[in-house]
Amino acid sequence: MTKTLLQQLREMTIVVADTGDIQAIEKYKPQDATTNPSLITAAAQMPQYKPIVDDVLSQAKKDLGGRASDQEILSLAFERLAVAFGKKILQVIKGRVSTEVDARVSYDTEATLKKAHSIIDQYEKEGVSRDRVLIKIASTWAGIKAAEKLEKEGIHCNLTLLFGIHQAIACADAGVTLISPFVGRILDWYKKDTGKDFQGEDDPGVQSVTRIYNYFKKYDYKTVVMGASFRNLGEIRELAGCDLLTISPQLLKDLDSTEGELPRKLNPETAKNANIQRISMNQATFENMHAADRMASDKLSEGIKGFSDALVSLEKLLAGWLNEMGSKQEGELVHK
């Protein structure tokens, strides 16, 4: 019997679900799962997850007491919501879930540390070991420095919004557990910048992840590479063999319904023999390389803004539901 592409991919790569939709995770049974503010916002609006949202809002309101302002309740609730979805996801998968810190603190090391500790504390209060959680942080220099401290505390990190080799090397030097280079967003930038389309191994996103993977294996870094943000099956085919790949439910479905050969493209033994120059990384080198890389500069700032905007949207949604809850409770008091 011919194996599907998904079955073959699982033989060489850890498959991760890129979604907050628990039903999709149950269907495709990935080892790990990742979420981000956009995915949590989308999931929170699905009718089947409304009870989770209501529980989080009610508990936040109760814990803060009657004098708490709506803004204080919302600030606590939206962070707890990501943890609530993470806990539900962990009941389905065997591995780890990535939960993202507030993107609005991406350029502030101390604020990132505070948010990360809060997320881990909430998971541990719910009986979830920190070994099953990856704290997701944007790959700014400030974010990488925060992750370096967290890793020394036994809090494992997933550095996201990663677009350049300088970000990857800085993460590996910091002892970060995992990085998420964004394949599809790199492709998007080059298509817009050049007006050209790219396929297969010519895809700039594929080339970026391949370079990072080979560099890490060449120099024996423990940090693992998880390709993310895919636009098509071709990108996934070209990165077969990567440590991990985080894939949307639609592309998981496509992989699961497609048969044919899936040759391994990334291999640690091949990388060991590659002629790759080592780059010494410090903050000045990082900033110079980042400034010189228009794509990485554009996509990092754009990604942080996108995740920040998603958090604002989620806060507005929660504010509306909080008002509904208040009106409902007032109505119940009138009828008593």
**What's the rounded Cα separation, in Å, for the pair 223 and 226?**
10
Residue 28 and residue 17 in contact, taking contact as beta carbons nearer than 8 Å: yes
CA angle 189, 190, 192 (to 5 degrees): 65
State the residue for tokens 């903050």: 283
Helix (H) or strand (E) holding 74: helix 70-90
Judged on CB neighbours under 10 Å (0-12, 13-18, 19+), 58 is middle
Report CA Rg, the chain: 21
Q: Which of 87, 136, 218, 299 is the catalytic position?
A: 136
Tokens matching residue 181: 């280079």
Q: Which residues contact 216 (CB under 8 A, 6 or more apart)?
A: 168, 172, 223, 224, 225, 271
* Greatest C-alpha distance within the chain: 78
Q: How far is CA 16 from each of CA 109, 155, 160, 252, rounded to the nearest angstrom? A: 28, 20, 14, 10
At 166 the three-state DSSP class reads helix
Q: How far is CA 307 from each of CA 20, 135, 174, 298, rounded to the nearest angstrom? A: 15, 15, 24, 14
94 is an active site residue = no
Active site residues: 136
